[in-house]
Structure 1
Amino acid sequence: MRRVLILGGTAWLGRELARVLVRDGDHVTCLARGIAGPPAEGAVLVAVDRAQPGAYAAVRGEEWDEVIELSWNVQHVTDALAALAPGAAHWTLISSCSVYASDAEVGQTEAAALMEPGPDPDIEDYAVAKVICERVSEAALGGRLLTVRAGLIVGPGDPSDRFGYWVSRFGLTGDGAVLTPTLAGRHVQVIDVRDLAAWTVGAGRRGTTGVVNAVGEIHAFGEVVAQARSIAGHTGPVLEAAPGWLVEQGVAYWAGPRSLPLWLPESFGGFFRRSNATLLAAGGELRDIRGTLEDTLDDERARGLGRDRRSGLTRPDEVELLTALVSTG
């Protein structure tokens, strides 16, 4: 039986990783505060605040077949490496495609240039922090490290409310109008949390090392919207608005309140079109995006289609924008 330590493990991706590991017969320990929720059934929780002195005392000095690090807090990552790297046969760092210096080029591989933190880095900046975490991990672990640069993670339980916005909105409106940005020329590239967890666990078991872009297949934004509409049974009109008009109305790109999720400026043309060749060559398996959309709609319905969301337009705001759009001709 392998002994696996997850640094984190009680939030969304971490819990899915723990679930897969336990299912496969591993002994799993999650070191976390535990405030995001309970660990997966069968996993052991060591409840600690990683910012406190002695946070790793309960697990330091033990031999681990695998350590999985989820944090982007530079101090947490650095302290964990100092305490645990000597006893880890293999280490997986969950990083992000946000580390890349440019989002403009299509087909970027793992060899693309990274953002440069500079001499006085802002470690509160997610991308900067992830770059530093990668570098300190490589320095401490060398050939024992797998760096997983995840793209946009989606699927049931997604706490960000980004991907689920579209299928949820079509499910909510029925025969009402839905507002989208101009869809032509834009793309979506996501990875289902279940596929990411399954591959990451398998890669750790195989001792895979190096850097891997964990991203899904590339889809036209219009295709994803059309599939979401079909799955939700939406029969109303879909009205596209030009980017400039949306910005003038205070609609944000990408995520957050009063946004149209997954919509990005044209200058980000490569963000959703990175190469996943390394992932596929390393055994990555990706489910069809329609299945992810179907499961996401089931999850959205269970949570409430009309609930307050972290990302997207409220329905009243959307109706107001639609009225203004129609009035402009």
Structure 2
Amino acid sequence: MSTRTLLILGGTGFVGRAAAEEALARGWHVTVLNRGRAAPPPGVRALRGDRTADGGLAALAEGEWDHVLDTWSDAPVAVRDAARLLAGRARHYTYISSRSVYAFPMAAGAAEDAPVIDASPDAEATEYAADKRGGELAATAEFGADRTLLVRCGIILGPYEDVGRLPWWLTRIARGGRVLAPGPRDLPLQYVDARDLAAWALDAADAGLSGPYDLVSPPGHTTMGRLLDTCVRVTGSTARLCWTDPETVLAAGVIPWTQLPVWLPPGEVHDALHGSDVGKALAAGLRCRPVTETVEATWAWLTGLPDGVPGRPERSPVGLDPETEARVLGPA
């Protein structure tokens, strides 16, 4: 088998970096195009370009690739312009999308045939779900349905995470003391490790898969209890998890998902986001590593950072402030 050539639009952040490292480990030739705000993985060919600026794709005026992987989360027109430029010089286009493209509320057990929201491939940036759906439409319009793979991810965790969900839990637990742990302990969770996402996406692209695939672990891959217990063990913390029923957490005004990352109280929204049917991706080779491996690798990455946890400037920070946590927990 000949060495593959891969172009990553991005390649220095979370999912893009995981894909670059996975492709390099396979011996592929990897090119990345980004704004140069972060150093790409050693071994890639780095091109500079700002997709939001006039002439921002000039570095891609020449070249051919087997596969393109695009992680863009902003204006769909940027996906449209890049895909249009590359459609005659690349065999396959993988767009990293999101399960947020489905019409809300999603039914528990929903799969790829669930209704999606309205969006435009020619839109400027609006909001996350519409931007992702517009990106899907843009990529498909330029490359064609048979050459475009739409990877609709759920929660993504693992090393290089720049949303801050698992990093927040790890740093909070490492700090010790009483930790507000939102119950119930056996609440099932779905997520995908970015490294498993990258491995599957490269395999799927090489196999020529197309169309939408929901990419997240099987329902109940882990639980809130196993996730936080693993954080305690991996960090070596003396923290005490104080399991608190959802009603108490909500009555205190704590916002699920943002102030307590990953967590949603039992109910319709939880079941929709943590009960996805991923049979299609599993049949196409998706394999998800144990939660222990994800937590251990994320902690190892965090403890090696010189400047703290990276974040996305366009997103609000996640996590619960100490004062609110203490108020909800009450006297020791």
CA contact (8 A) 2:185 2:243 kept: no
Q: 1:119 to 1:41 in 2, by over 3 A?
A: closer
- Give yes or no for the alignment of 1:222 onto 2:225: yes
Secondary structure at 2:126's aligned position in 1? coil
Counterpart in the other structure of 2:263: 263
Which of 2, 5, 15 aligns to 1:3? It is 5
Q: 1:85 to 1:122 in 2, by over 3 A?
A: closer
Counterpart in the other structure of 1:313: 320
Shift in Å at residue 283 of structure 1?
Answer: 1.4
Shift in Å at residue 319 of structure 1?
Answer: 2.5
CA contact (8 A) 1:121 1:128 kept: no
Counterpart in the other structure of 2:134: 132
Which of 11, 16, 19 aligns to 2:18? It is 16
Q: Alpha carbon RMSD of aligned pairs, Å?
A: 2.8
Counterpart residue type for residue 138 of structure 2: V
CA contact (8 A) 2:98 2:153 kept: yes
TM-score (norm 2): 0.85
Mapped to 1, the partners of 2:283 and 2:121 lie a distance apart of 36
Q: How many residues align?
A: 319
Counterpart residue type for residue 53 of structure 1: D
Shift in Å at residue 116 of structure 1?
Answer: 2.4
Counterpart in the other structure of 1:277: 279
CA contact (8 A) 1:260 1:313 kept: yes
State, as a whole percentage, how many aligned pairs show the same letter: 33
Secondary structure at 1:95's aligned position in 2? strand
Secondary structure at 2:295's aligned position in 1? helix
Counterpart residue type for residue 326 of structure 2: V
Counterpart in the other structure of 2:46: 45
Q: What does 1:103-252 correspond to in 2, within 5 Å?
A: 103-117=105-119, 123-142=125-144, 143-173=146-176, 176-183=177-184, 186-219=187-220, 220-233=223-236, 237-252=240-255
Shift in Å at residue 10 of structure 1?
Answer: 1.6
Shift in Å at residue 210 of structure 1?
Answer: 2.0
Mapped to 1, the partners of 2:120 and 2:60 lie a distance apart of 34
Instruction: Structure 1: give runs of 5+ residues left out of the alignment.
Output: none
Q: 1:104 to 1:51 in 2, by over 3 A?
A: closer
CA contact (8 A) 1:16 1:40 kept: no
Mapped to 1, the partners of 2:59 and 2:122 lie a distance apart of 34
Mapped to 2, the partners of 1:82 and 1:63 lie a distance apart of 14
Instruction: Structure 2: give runs of 5+ residues left out of the alignment.
Output: 312-316
Shift in Å at residue 122 of structure 1?
Answer: 7.9
Secondary structure at 1:89's aligned position in 2? strand
Counterpart residue type for residue 315 of structure 1: P
Shift in Å at residue 252 of structure 1?
Answer: 1.7
CA contact (8 A) 2:80 2:122 kept: no
Shift in Å at residue 242 of structure 1?
Answer: 4.4
Mapped to 1, the partners of 2:120 and 2:42 lie a distance apart of 43
Q: 1:6 to 1:182 in 2, by over 3 A?
A: same
TM-score (norm 1): 0.86
Counterpart residue type for residue 153 of structure 1: I
Shift in Å at residue 168 of structure 1?
Answer: 3.4
Shift in Å at residue 237 of structure 1?
Answer: 4.3
